[in-house]
Chain A
Amino acid sequence: MSGKAIDTLVIGGGLHGLSAALHLARAGRRVTILEKSWVGRHASGASAAGVRTLNRDPAEIPISLEAMEMWHGIAGLVGDSCGFHAHGQLNIAEHAHHLPKLESRLARMREAGYEHEELIDRAELLTLVPAISPHCVGALIARRDGAADPHRTLLAFRRSAEAAGVTIHEGVGVDAIEQAGDDWRLRTPAGDFIAPTVVNAAGAWAGKIAAMLGDDIPLGLKASMMIVTERIAPLLKPVISIVGRPLSFKQSEQGTLVIGGGLQGRADIEAQKSFVDFQELAKGARAATDLFPSVSALRIVRTWAGMEATTKDHLPVICASPNAKGAFHAFGFSGHGFQLVPVVGAIMADLVIRGSTERSIKGFGAKRLMQQRAAA
């Protein structure tokens, strides 16, 4: 490799890898990203790009709220709006018996001192989302939430990282990791890469990378399916989800409806391929047309399933490696990592450079998952 020394090798050119690299480079580190196919190939490019604090697990709320502040000034971080619009996210109660769930969530939030979620009634719901079926009774709303454009976000993070001096190698997968004195040696088809610190942001393949580093972290695999329709005239601005049914529903800037909700397709991790299960996806289409009957005649233009790692408790792994000195993990976002991208990069920079962070990452240690395996 070139004579230029590398301080940190980031494995994975998804949004989390890019964000970690960006923050590290801005702090003066020499960073290289190794991406086995191309930037944004899997989960990052297949994301619905929801920017959501609403209904987050309490463990994630502190960093999610900080990330939301960062999203509201995202151009200051990456020089582009990333197509982010804060039209709010709503979790809809279709029927009266769904309301208690929202009310108890709200009570827990207030109890913990959080103000970012509110309950709205049917009248306000219909004002905010006139196209929604009038049978819905109310919603929990996070008004500063919204959505971004995934590809624009990828481009902005990539360009900023490169402008900050990050080197990105695409088509370079890591075959093996070895210790080389105080450094790590990453073996790849493009030669060896050596650095004292390594960030594992390898998404669906992060478990494999962790194992190479000596951490046995059990992970599941998600292949969350998405639907995109033809472009239509403006229909709604906020991002919609429903209590008790698999749906996330929004309209992109181009006018397409982007419909997800975590319905699972089939993933073949070895072949790096994922497949859509239409019988299953029909549930999402059903939920969408129940909530927005007028979209029933719209053409589906494409569907896909994006591959990502998932953990048992659906919380990410954001920590220093328990077994490998100088290695750090950021993965396992379990289908809701997009919003956390700007803050997790900052956390990784804290951990790599200072060995600690003031940000709350208590719930995200790798050990919690490793211990479970030991106990099993």
Chain B
Amino acid sequence: MFRKLDQDTGSSLTVHVDGHPVLAIAGESVAAVLLRQAPFWARTTPVSGARRAPYCMMGVCFDCLAVVDGVSSVQTCLAPVREGMRIERQQGRPDVTS
């Protein structure tokens, strides 16, 4: 996992990861927030159900996919945080029937 350096000076805001309020800094990506959360993973794969965490942080690997504000398969390393954002770890294949 990762931790914030003390020196960071951004305006802070609150997002929710799987329902828990978490502090974030304006301008950082959702994936960066996920890297500070236990358990350390973002999704399970649609193929075997294995856990995956952000890997490349630059939009190439698609392993940081998560559900953001109800939208599944968001590339969280490219999604900046917003106040009140709801982030959920993505479990396997998205279900659009519910």
Contact = CB atoms under 8 A, between A and B. Distances in A.
Interface of A: 130-131, 230-235, 255, 294-295, 297-299
B14 interface: no
A294 B98 CA distance: 9
Contacts of B21: none
B95 interface: yes
Question: Quick one: which of B46, B73, B96, B97 has the most chain A CB within 10 A?
Answer: B96
B93 interface: yes
Contacts of B59: none
B97 A235 contact: yes
Nearest to B71: A297
Contacts of A232: 46, 93-96
A298 B96 CA distance: 9
Contacts of A255: 46, 93
B contact patch SS: loop
B72 A130 contact: no
Contacts of A231: 46-47, 93
Contacts of B96: 131, 232-233, 235, 294-295, 297-298
Given A230-B46, A231-B46, A255-B46, A297 B93 contact: no
Contacts of A294: 96-97
A233 B93 contact: yes
B84 interface: no
Contacts of B93: 230-233, 255
Nearest to B75: A299
Contact of B97 (A233, A297, A298, A299): A233
Contact of A233 (B47, B71, B73, B95): B95
B92 interface: yes
A234 B92 CA distance: 12
A295 B96 CA distance: 7
Contacts of A235: 96-97
Contact of A299 (B47, B73, B95): B73
Nearest to B72: A297
Interface in B70-98: 71-73, 92-97
Contacts of A233: 92-97
A299 B46 CA distance: 14
Given A233-B97, A297-B72, 6 more contacts: A130-B97, A230-B46, A232-B46, A294-B96, A297-B71, A298-B94
A298 B46 CA distance: 14
Contacts of B92: 233
A131 B97 contact: yes
B73 A230 contact: yes
B43 to A, nearest CB: 12
Nearest to A233: B95
A235 to B, nearest CB: 6
Contacts of B71: 297
21 contacts: A130-B97, A131-B97, A230-B93, A230-B94, A231-B46, A231-B47, A231-B93, A232-B46, A232-B94, A233-B94, A233-B96, A233-B97, A234-B97, A235-B96, A235-B97, A255-B46, A297-B71, A297-B72, A297-B96, A298-B73, A298-B96
A297 B72 CA distance: 8
